[in-house]
């Protein structure tokens, strides 16, 4: 039997520490091909490149792995992988993205390039997983994620995922105590409260620097923020269908213009 074909991408760029971790784990599971941004694309969400050129070049950065660096967004990378790089080959059995250098819990999933690469895989009908480490430090330690990345990946390859679903997996930062395990969670009710710092450049022209604080309004113990805070790995099933299905009946009943 053929080993599974695993497409790897990310949003931190092809030279990041996190994607190297992910590639090394995936090499123990199947045949790996990488299509990743040639520069950091954090916070791009599900943006795609229109009206500009896309460039794609082979890379030898990963030993024994066919890899390409793309000038586009994470979603561009998965699209190019599926419809150009792999067009005359077999379809991937799995799309994995990450390991992101920083948290993608709660509302951050909407802004995440890491998860957008995974969601793009789900749109194409392929099981997909986005992995993130909740540590923004430049010297973040990814070593404690490897065992669980492999376990989660093997579960998905063996048992599949519901159609149109991608998993959002977040790891706590490495601590003195071992990880407590895995929690299947919902997305926490939390958001960023933005602040805009007004500044002036050397020419006296005004510009802004966006900052802010993350506020968690959720008091439950079944969400991803709680899991990370309590040293569990959070796994949130995500879908690209944003329809508020329960609201259809409410609007049909309430709106007098229908």
∠ CA 123-182-237, nearest 5°, is 20
Cα distance between the two ends of the chain: 56
Residue 97 assigned ligand-binding role = no
CA-to-CA distance for 35 and 10, rounded, in angstroms?
8
Residue 16 assigned ligand-binding role = no
Residue 241 assigned ligand-binding role = no
229: CB partners within 8 A, 6+ apart: 172
Residue 42 assigned ligand-binding role = yes
CA-to-CA distance for 2 and 6, rounded, in angstroms?
12
Say how far residue 16 (Cα) sits from the centre of its chain: 14
CB 68 within 8 A of CB 59: yes
CA-to-CA distance for 190 and 170, rounded, in angstroms?
16
Extract the annotated binding site for a divalent metal cation: 11-12, 42, 100
Extract the annotated binding site: 11-12, 42, 100
């Amino acid at each position: 039997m053929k080993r599974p074909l695993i497409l790897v991408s990310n949003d931190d760029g092809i030279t990041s520490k996190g994607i190297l971790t992910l590639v090394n784990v995936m090499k123990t599971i199947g045949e790996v091909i990488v299509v990743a941004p040639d520069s950091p694309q954090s916070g791009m969400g599900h943006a795609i490149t229109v009206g500009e050129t896309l460039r794609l070049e082979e890379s030898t950065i990963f030993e024994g792995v066919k890899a390409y660096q793309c000038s586009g967004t994470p979603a561009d990378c998965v699209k190019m992988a599926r419809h150009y790089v792999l067009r005359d080959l077999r379809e991937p059995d799995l799309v994995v993205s990450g390991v992101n250098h920083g948290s993608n819990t709660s509302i951050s999933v909407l802004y995440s390039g890491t998860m957008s690469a995974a969601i793009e895989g789900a749109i194409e009908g392929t099981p997909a997983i986005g992995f993130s480490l909740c540590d923004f430090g430049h010297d973040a330690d990814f070593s404690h994620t490897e065992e669980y990345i492999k376990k989660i990946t093997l579960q998905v390859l063996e048992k599949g995922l519901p159609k149109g679903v991608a998993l959002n997996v977040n790891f706590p930062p490495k601590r003195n105590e071992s990880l407590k395990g895995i929690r299947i969670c919902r997305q926490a009710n939390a958001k960023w409260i933005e602040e805009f710092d007004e500044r002036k450049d050397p020419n006296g022209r005004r510009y802004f620097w966006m900052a802010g604080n993350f506020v968690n309004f959720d008091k439950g113990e079944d969400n991803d923020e709680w899991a990370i805070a309590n040293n569990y790995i959070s796994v949130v099933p995500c879908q690209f269908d944003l329809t508020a299905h329960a609201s259809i009946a409410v609007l049909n009943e309430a709106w007098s213009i229908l």
